[in-house]
Amino acid sequence: MRRVELLDCTLRDGAYLLQKKFGNTNIKGIISGLIDAKINIIEIGFLQNEGNEDGSTVYKNSREASKLILGDKKESIISVLADYSRYDISNLDDYDGKSVDLIRECFFKHEYHEAIQACKIIKEKGYKVFVQPVDILGYSDKELLELLDEINQLEPDGMSIVDTFGSMYQEDLHRVFEIINHNLLESCKIGFHSHNNMQLSNALSQEFVRISSGKRKIVIDGTISGMGRGAGNTPIELIAQYLVSKYGYSYDMDKLLDLIDTYMDNIRSRCNWGYTTSYFVAGCYSAHVNNIDYLSKKNSIRHKDIGLILNKIGSEERKRYNYDLLEQTYIEMMKADIDDTAAICELRHKMENKKVLVLIPGMTISTKRELIDDYIEENKPYIISVNFIHENIKSDYIYLSNVKRYQYWSNSKKFLETNKILTSNLINNQPLKNSVIVSFTRLVKRGWKLLDNSTIMLLRLLDEINVSNIAIAGFDGYFNREGENVNYYDRNLEVNHTPMSALDINKEISGMLLDFYLNRKSKSMSIEFITPSRFKKLIDFKENV
């Protein structure tokens, strides 16, 4: 009998990216394909109290799960994961051999006494059971030994080393494995479940094979193409190929490749995962990836800022996700405690009741240049460019609230010579000459994912200084076209730092723009779009109501 087994948890760990709804056709096909590929354990989803919705990988019991398992399981066994805090074990039916064979019970450190009691009930109902302590690196050696004492009394089929936050290095794996191996019942398998924040999942899985040799039967978790939240997981095809080529295992690699061709290309069109610098920061701080997704939506945030926020909220808070706390901490980090009364008065004196043309760096700044030139010629407005300087259109001011844009432009001679409106979150970077500083907190409004969108913040400032007429050019909206420069007139401005899709960004900005318009202080203020924009109809409709 082989001492290494592979567990595929695509339909469970990957399910977070699809709101747990793969669709019945995909679920059945993936299960069948993994059976044909001779994967030892196939985790098909979650046990949760709410039970199954059509097309989801959530089940109330094994009877619900059985509907998605077609034909003979052959040599594979079927598993599901039960989160102690989300599943009442009384909902579980007795094992009948036709559906789920193994249940993995996961739990936080403070829950382990109660979770192990739930594991006893799982065993009594006839199932194999794996103990899955969340965040194994969060246990001290003493706490881990105490946990192992209780696990040994349970006598489960296995216990997993779970690198929940993708922060494990080789030395950590060696230390944790040796503690568990020396103190866990010999009959118990040791599993390994990792996340790829540090790009180490596959390497650590291979190392796990090596360090356990001659010592213990092991189970390694993986997912097809590494599918999983954030940076994802160990790709099942990589660790399978390693075992085939180096140890002569019999996994069918062609079947795994067929699964990727048949299902994963389509799934990748609906969601994203994989290594990014942001998820590396999550690994550095042992932080839940939802914190990273939330903070990455902020336009003015840098990777080191994410690290500072994670450090500030503390080790326990960052292992979960509290969006109110993240937003509050972000705003506190961005703001500088300044009195901007003089700055507001200066801007009001220059622009009150005047026409202002706001230039935003969308593609229509170039493609519809004649419309902009005609407007300028006819109206002689104040011109404010947002986070950029145009090489041919002279601006009266450049408005900047985005730290990365500020740093990008700060070495430009033309930029240095132009008047600037800067928000107070930039002043730690030594504000440049010809600058007016306004309060960052004056212009943001909490409750939006993109609360620091520079265009919306500038509109709030213009409302504050009583501008009567605002014309907007280059506010095109966002498009998803990989490899193309479609969102900015200058390729150097093109970015892809946010986990939000173009559709979601447009929806969020539409909501913020409408909120601004309905709540503006000056109800007589008019807004017109000089160039085509996804947001034009929104304002035109409201102005005509």
Side-chain half-sphere CA neighbours of 477 within 13 A: 20
Distance from C-alpha of 469 to C-alpha of 346, rounded to nearest angstrom = 18
CB of 51 within 8 A of CB of 60?
A: yes
Distance from C-alpha of 246 to C-alpha of 161, rounded to nearest angstrom = 23
Tell me the one-letter amino acid at 269.
S
Q: Output the pLDDT for position 1.
A: 58
Q: Output the pLDDT for position 289.
A: 78
CB of 362 within 8 A of CB of 487?
A: yes
Number of H helices, E strands in the chain: 23, 16
Kindly give, in sequence order, each residue whose CB lies less than 8 Å from that of residue 342, ignoring residues fewer than 6 positions away: none
Q: Output the pLDDT for position 428.
A: 61
Roughly how many angstroms between the first and final C-alpha of the chain, as a whole number? Answer: 75
Q: Output the pLDDT for position 432.
A: 64
Burial 354-367 (b: 16+ CB within 10 A, else e): bbbbbbbbbbbbbe
Structure tokens at 104: 């993995």
* Best CA proximity match to 252, nearest among 34, 74, 73: 34
Kindly give the parts of the chain with pLDDT less than 50. 483, 497, 545
Burial label for 431, CB within 10 Å (0-12, 13-18, 19+), is middle
CB of 202 within 8 A of CB of 234?
A: yes
Burial label for 61, CB within 10 Å (0-12, 13-18, 19+), is middle
How many other CB atoms are there within 10 angstroms of residue 224's CB atom?
25
Kindly give, in sequence order, each residue whose CB lies less than 8 Å from that of residue 427, ignoring residues fewer than 6 positions away: 336, 338, 437
Q: Output the pLDDT for position 541.
A: 56
Return the beta strands (E) in 67-193 as ranges: 77-83, 102-107, 128-133, 158-162, 189-193
Q: Output the pLDDT for position 545.
A: 46
Helix (H, G, I), strand (E, B) or coil at 384: strand
| Whole-prediction pTM | 0.68
354, 374, 453 from 525: Cα distances, Å: 10, 22, 21
